[in-house]
């Protein structure tokens, strides 16, 4: 069979069969089954681009699909849709809308309900005399059928589509629905704008839903799409009793504004200081033929739903009902269009929210007062939820264009697919209740989320140490964390509270406990973020506290009390225990901090301190290689503490060994998966090797040899389970030689955040294929069947550490940018590589020849000041002083091999 070829966005080709003579192309493609809305290759097609009246959706989806899910893979999918620090609602694998987490706290499993009616989109079609009604959802998951009174799944009682597929490329998700009995193919798409280096565009309290309707017939028919939502203001999903000043009585009203027609929801009787006090709004844009209900009939025994369904079925329009005694009245919005034969149309619905009352994580809920209210940044930008819709709609087209451009650029780059998926999908954590911004714009984060509360407060330094996404995608947010850590959380002695309190002015340092790895990591990250931002003024301002934070290591009874470049003291760390004696995890963090502090000290003119840091680094590096490397990997030298009074105050958190003279919960001779995380950050920051390169390489090989499991059938784990049965993964620690009676508690677990950090380190050491396999195994555990692809849990859902996955891209491309030295660097790896500095983003295309390399750097958004371009280990080109590449610039370079 002959064929024609068309290029897709990934640079590959999609091959379409040519029709036999006498058969038009459209009919042939339908007969052969190769004409769905999206191609089997996973990218949007232009099959229907020439069809009339399809508007801007004529080509179907305009974004590349990174991953497709079907069948059992749909069961656990719940993609969070919302902005940075705003909360989210999740689009699930079958198209249902669950996990409504928009009221300042997590709400896993919460779907608001009134009269047993949950939120849904529904489709009405009238083709001649035939009327069809379906909720825009696919089949229920296998475990949602059985319960004491029948299925408890939201909308299980409504007719639905038998065929469903979920298409994902975060922040876009789409549910493709088919029913052989219907003359239409439907796709429900959800997204919230996500633009690297623009935290404002990426922080909108909105979910944008677009319903694509494709008429499969050669004749027209009418169709209506309806969105229904209970007014659940005051019900945040936690089950708590909401504060009120009277009887809670919510109300809905119809509004119009320009092309928007929709419903505004507010609450009467709620305490205006309560977390769940606020407003919700939803609207359809640009559809003249709309109808609505601000309330449903108050009835019994399912009469509310029956009345609604019959009303819609009659003519595809809704007749309003008067609100009576409902405390949480249902509202529905209906948009009707005519679909000419063979066309595709889209209807865009916007859902916005505004809940201003976030409270401090430093105060128990029962003891909170209005003084503990810290608020939300996004809420300062809008009057209410309707204002959110109005201001967003006016620029939505541009926001979508920029988001799609980001995805097209990202997905068409040449990173291995598992790395792209791990990096991109974990960006969703920034939008969940794990993270938030206070009204001054500063960025904070829990470690993760329990079902109804944040889990482990305080932007915990030893957890947020690992994630690299914030710095490289939203640099200003990362820099605000550094300011908080040093300007607020660090005292005059240099003790950094590793959990910062809120409000900052009253509670920043109240925790008064220090984590060795967290504090050293913050010094390294300060160097990283200074380099990426070029904000030398901030460095100068924070330098006294940065220096104090390092000098804290040397206080009597401290981590390195004898000031020899080796941490021998009591070291609280991310394993939630105190290590006693030198160990690789914190030892390498310390070495990286010394190197970073040396560089910063040199810049600010503190040369004696820079020299001290250099001397300690050299001594410590030699010592670790000589005493902790056992020939295969780095181990801990456990040193009991015989006199507890010799331990500096604030180093014992109370979660470690019960007896310091006979310490349990140590690493000992274990092979730790993140023993080299400090070396990883040193590579990311271009600080060089912290120990002998051959030892670093061998340690990674040992991690692959000892920590990797091809199955977990025979694996014993005394605590939490993140990998089981036939899954594959890297253990937190393995004990090939000797295991202490009671090692640190998490040793037998599997954490994706540590797996990604280890894999990124492997890439730097040339173990590329092995690293890709590690990432592939981690993502296979989150393929929708058993776990949500958008929720990598550790101590809570949407765990911050898993955003270490962004380091995979930095390592693979070798990207390093210094706004201070105006130097841009990549590894000499042929291909096209997406890059992001946190303040700008674009691509770098590298073509290696025998004696030269042809390089093209494109800046898509932001600007880069570049006076030196380097291919590491290959060659360098100097550019004129003052060279700046603005957005839209493509620069071609010829790099000679040196």
| DSSP state at residue 725 | T
Confidence at residue 243, expressed as pLDDT on a 0 to 100 scale: 72
Mean pLDDT of 449-469: 97
C-beta separation of 379 from 356 below 8 A: yes
In the beta sheet, which residues pair with residue 125? 132, 223
CA distance 403 to 541: 35
pLDDT of residue 689: 98
Are the beta carbons of 331 and 263 closer than 8 angstroms?
Answer: yes
Residue 26 reports pLDDT greater than 80: no
Strands 823-826 and 868-871: parallel
Alpha helices in 226-349 (DSSP H): 303-315
Could you tell me which residue, 323 or 271, shows the higher pLDDT?
271
Query: Which has the closest alpha carbon to 546: 567, 566, 525, 531?
Result: 525
pLDDT (average), residues 394-407:
98
Reply yes or no on whether the pLDDT at 722 is more than 50. Answer: yes
State the Cα angle at 871 between 867 and 876, rounded to 5°: 45
Neighbours of 181 (CB within 10 A): 9
In the chain, the percentage of residues whose pLDDT exceeds 90 is: 89
Instruction: Collect all residues with Cβ–Cβ distance below 8 Å to 714 and sequence separation of at least 6.
Output: none
- 313 close to 185: Cβ distance less than 8 angstroms: no
Query: Which pLDDT belongs to residue 51?
Result: 30
Angle at 188 between CA 186 and CA 193, to 5 degrees: 145
- Helix ranges (DSSP H) in 718-823: 752-764, 768-780, 806-813
| CA atoms of 558 and 270, how far apart (whole Å) | 51
Mean per-residue pLDDT, 409-431: 98
Alpha-carbon dihedral of residues 882, 886, 892, 893, nearest 10 degrees? 30
Q: Is the CB of residue 597 less than 8 Å from the CB of residue 682?
A: no
Identify which of 137, 78, 126 has the alpha carbon closest to the alpha carbon of residue 224: 126
Average pLDDT over residues 181-185: 96
Q: Which residue has the higher pLDDT, 44 or 137?
A: 137
Judge whether residue 158 has pLDDT over 90.
Answer: yes
Give per-residue pLDDT as tens, 793-810. Answer: 999 999 999 999 999 999
845-850: long-range contacts, CB 8 A cutoff, minimum separation 24: 846/871, 848/874
Cβ burial of 697 (10 Å; 0-12, 13-18, 19+) is middle
pLDDT at 106 over 90: yes
- Match 């789409």 to its residue by tokens: 174
Question: In 10 A of CB 718, how many CB atoms?
Answer: 11
Residue 31 pLDDT greater than 50, yes or no: no
CB 20 within 8 A of CB 32: no
Can you tell me the mean pLDDT for 503-531? 97
Return the number of other C-beta atoms located less than 10 Å from residue 122's C-beta.
23
- Residue 261: pLDDT band (50, 70, 90) is very high
3-state class (DSSP) for residue 567: coil
Q: Long-range CB contacts (< 8 A, 24+ apart) of 99-104?
A: 100/232, 100/237, 101/237, 101/432, 101/433, 102/205, 102/280, 102/353, 102/355, 103/236, 103/237, 103/275, 103/276, 103/278, 103/355, 104/236, 104/275, 104/276, 104/355, 104/357, 104/358, 104/359, 104/376, 104/433
pLDDT band at 447 (very low <50, low <70, confident <90, very high): very high
Contact between 796 and 378 under an 8 Å Cβ cutoff? The reply is no
Of the listed ranges 35-44, 225-234, 557-566, 876-885, the least confidently predicted one is 35-44
pLDDT at site 18: 35
Alpha carbon distance 683, 720 (integer Å): 32
**Rounded distance between C-alpha atoms, residue 657 and residue 577, angstroms:** 7
Please give the structure tokens belonging to residue 797: 């859902």
pTM score over 0.85: yes
Cα(685)–Cα(532) distance, integer angstroms: 9
**Bond from prior residue into 503 cis (ω within 30 degrees of 0):** yes
Which pLDDT value is given to residue 881?
A: 97
Give the integer Cα–Cα distance in Å for 286 and 292: 15
**Burial class for 218, CB neighbours closer than 10 Å (0-12, 13-18, 19+):** exposed
Q: Is the pLDDT of residue 245 over 80?
A: no
**N- to C-terminal Cα separation, the chain:** 51
Evaluate if residue 638 carries a pLDDT over 60. yes
Q: What is the arrangement of strands in the sheet containing 868-871, beginning at the earlier edge strand? A: 816-818, 823-826, 868-871, 875-878
What is the pLDDT confidence band of residue 54, given thresholds at 50, 70 and 90?
Answer: very low
Taking the CA of residue 447 as centre, how many other CA atoms within 13 Å lie in the half-sphere pointing to its CB?
18
**246 pLDDT tier (thresholds 50, 70, 90):** low
Of 383, 385, 114, 395, give the one whose Cα is nearest residue 255: 385
Look at residue 204 and give its three-state secondary structure.
Answer: coil
Q: What is the pLDDT of residue 321?
A: 92
pLDDT bracket for residue 7 (50, 70, 90): very low
For 129, other C-beta atoms within 10 Å of its C-beta total: 5
| Cα–Cα distance measured from residue 376 to residue 439, given in angstroms and rounded to the nearest whole number | 5
- What is the pLDDT of the chain when averaged over all its residues? 92
Residues with Cβ within 8 Å of 366's Cβ and at least 6 positions away in sequence, in order, are none
Q: Which pair of structure tokens corresponds to residue 687?
A: 């600080």
CA angle, 552 then 443 then 592, to 5°: 35
Which of these, 13, 173, 1, 181, lies nearest to 79 by C-alpha position? 173
Q: How confident is the model at residue 43 (pLDDT cuts 50, 70, 90)?
A: very low
Measured CA to CA, the distance from residue 879 to residue 412 in angstroms comes to 28
- How buried is residue 33: exposed, middle or buried, by Cβ count under 10 Å (0-12/13-18/19+)? exposed
- The pLDDT tens digits of the residues spanning 339-398 come to 999 999 999 999 999 999 999 998 888 888 999 999 999 999 999 999 999 999 999 999
Q: How far apart are CA 500 and CA 494, in angstroms?
A: 14
Q: In this structure, what are the phi and psi dihedrals at residue 349, rounded to the nearest 5 degrees?
A: -110, 140
Identify which of 140, 174, 157 has the alpha carbon closest to the alpha carbon of residue 72: 140
**Please, which contacts does 34-37 make with residues 24 or more away whose CB atoms are closer than 8 Å?**
36/176, 36/185, 37/61, 37/176, 37/185, 37/187, 37/212, 37/214, 37/344
Which candidate, 492, 556, 551, 483, places its Cα nearest to that of 522? 483
Does residue 519 sit in helix, strand or coil? Answer: helix
Mean pLDDT of all residues in 174-181 = 97
Rounded alpha-carbon distances, angstroms, from residue 561 to 233, 553, 603, 768: 55, 7, 27, 39
Burial (CB count within 10 angstroms: exposed 0-12, middle 13-18, buried 19+), residue 31: exposed
């Amino acid at each position: 069979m002959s064929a024609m070829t068309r290029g897709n966005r990934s640079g590959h080709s999609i091959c379409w069969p040519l029709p036999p003579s006498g058969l038009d192309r459209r009919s042939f493609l339908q007969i052969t089954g190769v004409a769905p809305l999206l191609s089997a290759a996973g990218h949007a097609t232009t099959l229907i681009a020439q069809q009339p009246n399809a508007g801007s959706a004529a080509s179907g989806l305009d974004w590349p699909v990174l991953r497709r899910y079907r069948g059992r893979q749909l069961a656990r999918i719940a993609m969070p849709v919302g902005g940075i620090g705003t909360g989210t609602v999740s689009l699930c694998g079958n198209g249902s809308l669950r996990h409504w987490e928009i009221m300042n706290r997590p709400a896993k499993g919460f779907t608001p309900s009134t009269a047993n009616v949950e939120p849904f989109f529904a489709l009405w079609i009238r083709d001649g005399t035939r009327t069809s009604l379906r909720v825009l959802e696919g089949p229920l998951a296998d475990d949602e059928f059985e319960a004491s009174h029948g299925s408890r799944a939201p909308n299980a009682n409504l007719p639905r589509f038998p065929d469903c597929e979920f298409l994902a490329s975060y922040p876009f998700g789409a549910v493709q629905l088919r029913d052989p009995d219907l003359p239409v193919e439907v796709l429900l798409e959800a997204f919230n704008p996500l633009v690297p280096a623009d935290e404002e565009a990426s922080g909108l309290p909105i979910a944008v839903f677009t319903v694509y309707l494709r008429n499969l017939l050669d004749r027209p028919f009418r169709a209506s799409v309806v969105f229904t939502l209970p007014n659940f203001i005051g019900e945040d999903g936690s089950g708590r009793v909401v504060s009120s000043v009277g009887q809670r009585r919510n109300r809905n009203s119809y509004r119009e504004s320009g092309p928007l027609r929709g419903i505004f929801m507010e609450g009467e009787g709620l305490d205006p200081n309560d977390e769940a006090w606020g407003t919700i709004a939803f609207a359809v844009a640009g559809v003249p033929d709309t109808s609505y209900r601000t309330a449903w009939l108050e009835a019994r025994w399912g009469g509310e739903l029956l009345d609604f369904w019959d009303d819609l079925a009659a003519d595809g329009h809704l007749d309003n009902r008067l609100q009576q005694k409902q405390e949480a009245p249902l509202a529905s919005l209906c948009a009707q269009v005519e679909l000419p034969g063979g066309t595709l149309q889209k209807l865009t619905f916007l859902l916005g929210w505004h809940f201003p009352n976030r409270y401090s994580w430093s105060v128990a809920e029962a003891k909170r007062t209005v003084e503990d209210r810290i608020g939300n940044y996004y809420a300062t930008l809008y009057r209410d939820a309707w204002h959110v819709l109005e201001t967003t709609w006016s620029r939505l087209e541009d926001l979508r264009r920029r988001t799609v451009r980001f995805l097209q650029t990202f997905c068409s780059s040449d990173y291995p697919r598992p790395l792209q998926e791990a990096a991109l999908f974990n960006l969703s954590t920034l939008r969940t209740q794990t993270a938030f911004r206070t009204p001054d714009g500063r960025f904070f984060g829990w470690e993760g989320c329990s079902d109804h509360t944040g889990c482990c407060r305080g932007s915990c330094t030893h957890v947020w140490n690992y994630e690299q996404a914030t710095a490289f995608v939203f640099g200003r947010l990362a820099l605000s964390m550094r300011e908080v850590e040093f300007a607020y959380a660090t005292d005059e002695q240099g003790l950094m509270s590793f959990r910062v309190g809120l409000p900052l002015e009253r509670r920043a340092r109240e925790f008064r406990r220090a984590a060795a790895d967290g504090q050293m990591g913050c010094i390294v990250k300060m160097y990283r973020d200074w380099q990426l931002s070029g904000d030398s003024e901030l460095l100068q301002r924070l330098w006294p506290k940065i220096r104090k934070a390092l000098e804290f290591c040397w206080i009597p009874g401290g981590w390195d009390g004898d000031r020899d470049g080796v941490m021998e003291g009591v070291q609280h760390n991310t394993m939630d225990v105190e290590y006693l004696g030198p160990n690789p995890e914190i030892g390498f963090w310390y070495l990286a901090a010394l190197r970073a502090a040396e560089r910063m000290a040199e810049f600010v003119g503190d040369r004696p301190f820079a020299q001290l840091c250099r001397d300690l680094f050299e001594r410590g590096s030699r010592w670790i290689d000589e005493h902790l490397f056992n020939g295969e990997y780095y181990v801990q030298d456990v040193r009991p503490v015989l006199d507890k009074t010799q331990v500096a105050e604030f180093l014992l958190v109370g979660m470690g060994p019960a007896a310091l003279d006979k310490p349990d919960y140590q690493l000992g001779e274990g092979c730790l998966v993140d023993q080299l995380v400090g070396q990883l950050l040193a590579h990311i920051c271009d600080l060089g090797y912290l120990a002998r390169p051959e030892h670093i390489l061998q340690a990674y090989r040992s991690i692959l040899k000892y920590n990797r499991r091809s199955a977990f059938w025979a694996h014993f784990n005394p605590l939490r389970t993140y990998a089981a049965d036939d899954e594959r993964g890297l253990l937190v620690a393995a004990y090939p030689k000797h295991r202490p009676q009671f090692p640190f508690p998490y040793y037998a677990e599997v954490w994706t955040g540590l797996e990604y950090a280890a894999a990124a380190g492997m890439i730097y050491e040339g173990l590329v294929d092995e690293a890709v396999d590690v990432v592939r195994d981690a993502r296979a555990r989150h393929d929708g069947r058993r776990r949500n692809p958008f929720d990598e849990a550790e101590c809570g859902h949407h765990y911050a550490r898993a955003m270490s996955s962004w380091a995979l891209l930095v390592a693979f491309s070798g990207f390093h940018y210094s706004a201070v030295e105006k130097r841009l660097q990549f590894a000499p790896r042929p291909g096209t590589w997406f890059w992001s500095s946190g303040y700008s983003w674009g691509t770098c295309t590298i073509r290696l020849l025998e004696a030269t390399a042809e390089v093209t750097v494109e800046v898509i958004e932001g600007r880069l000041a570049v006076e030196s371009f380097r291919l590491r280990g290959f060659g360098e080109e100097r550019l004129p002083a003052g060279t700046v590449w603005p957005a839209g610039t493509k620069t071609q370079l010829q790099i000679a091999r040196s």
